[in-house]
Amino acid sequence: MAGLCNIDEAVRLLQSGEVVGLPTETVYGLGANALDTKAVAKVFEAKNRPSFDPLIVHVADLDGVRSIAELTPAAESLLLAFSPGPLTVVLKKKSIVPDLVTSGHPTVAVRIPAHPMMLQVLQQSGLFVAAPSANPFGYTSPTTAQHVLAQLGERISGVLDGGPCTVGLESTIVDFTGESPKVLRLGGMDVAQLELVLGELPVQTSSSTPHAPGMLSAHYNPGAKIFLHHSVGDALSAACVTNDTAVLLFGPKDEAGYEHQYSLSTTKSYSEAAQNLFAMLRELGSKYPEIHAVRLPEEGLGRAINDRLVRAAATR
Ligand code: TXA
Ligand code: MG
């Protein structure tokens, strides 16, 4: 069983081809040296991840991006505006990136994470780190080191504890390899912010075509059946039928007082809701057979949170 490690140990493990749980501002990643095919193969194995689902490569700075990918002017302007941060860009890959990382695609997903400990690991090791979210394939993403140990502790060499993730949703992915940029995954960076730099950005998320290979419609399984509702009233009526199910809502709890109500944010803060989402799904999934969740307004991070809820509900 792996335990917690410090930055020096994480660097040493990565340099010797091992797989380590690493904190980022979005979710915890399962990192390995991206240029070491054997190490990358261990990531797929530990996660039970199908090899058709490519990995994101984490780099310390723009020079790192240029080392592994053909940086376009539009992608550069987006990275300059929002990196380090919860943003991933898909670019044409350079030949040093192993095909295993990109699942054979000629493109690579790159990101500069904002977590100070992760940045230090990247700088100190001098490595490019391929890291998917540190959960078994198809399950809820981890937002604490303890989540990683609980699900993957037996399969990895250590976890660097950087505290709870401050964003809580995976990065927003923007593809720059087509005729014009488009969003492949909604995430921790609000699309409206990106549009301030790029102009209107189409969102093309729900396909399992080779273009967005990992965007599977059923994902984030928390262990309970999830049902989605358009209003708190609907969710409460559905939950009351058995009285043994959780209601997950956004905003204040209903005064009428059904016992098992949980709020992602009582003050309707999208960023707080994003921060809480995966940890709450995990906790409720371990306590209740069913979770009745209320959709958030389709604006800001609410869109990305709804996207995760829809995929989690599809695992039912
Ligand atoms: O916030 C994040 O992005 C986290 C942290 C650890 O950085 N990572 C993460 O990785 O969410 P993962 O593996 O769970 O999701 C990566 C997504 C997958 O859906 C994958 O299909 C997509 O990125 N992806 C990777 N390379 C791609 C490529 N070349 N073209 C299109 N999609 C790609
Ligand atoms: Mg993932």
Same domain, 161 and 307: no
pTM of the predicted model as reported, rounded to 2 decimal places: 0.96
Residue 214: band (very low, low, confident or very high) from pLDDT cuts 50, 70, 90: very low
**What's the pLDDT tens digit per position in 148-178?**
999 999 999 999 999 999 999 999 999 999 9
The CATH code of the domain that includes 15 is 3.90.870.10
Same domain, 158 and 64: yes
Which among 117, 170, 203, 205 is the best mutation to test ligand 1's pocket, defined by most ligand atoms within 8 Å of the CB?
Answer: 170
Between CA 66 and CA 123 the distance in angstroms is 15
Percent of the chain having pLDDT more than 90? 87
- pLDDT of 208 over the 50 cut: no
Percent of the chain having pLDDT more than 70? 97
Ligand 1 centroid distance, CA of 160 (Å): 20
DSSP line for 147-170: HHHHHHTTTSSEEE---S-SS-SP
pLDDT score at 124: 98
Same domain, 176 and 280: no
The CATH code of the domain that includes 235 is 3.40.50.11030
- Cβ neighbours of 119 (radius 10 Å): 18
List of residues 6+ apart from 258 with CB closer than 8 A: 236, 239, 240, 247
pLDDT score at 215: 63
Ligand 1 centroid distance, CA of 193 (Å): 20
Same domain, 191 and 263: no
Residue 17: band (very low, low, confident or very high) from pLDDT cuts 50, 70, 90: very high
Give the pairing type, strands 290-294 and 225-229: parallel
- Tokens 């730099």 -> residue: 197
Between CA 239 and CA 247 the distance in angstroms is 7
Task: Report the pLDDT averaged over residues 138-151.
Answer: 95
Which among 22, 107, 133 is the best mutation to test ligand 1's pocket, defined by most ligand atoms within 8 Å of the CB?
Answer: 133
- pLDDT of 187 over the 90 cut: yes
pLDDT score at 213: 43
SS3 assignment, position 23: coil
Our count of domains for the chain comes to 2
Which of 163, 183, 198 is at the close of a domain?
198
Task: Report the pLDDT averaged over residues 185-213.
Answer: 82
Domain housing 190: 4-198
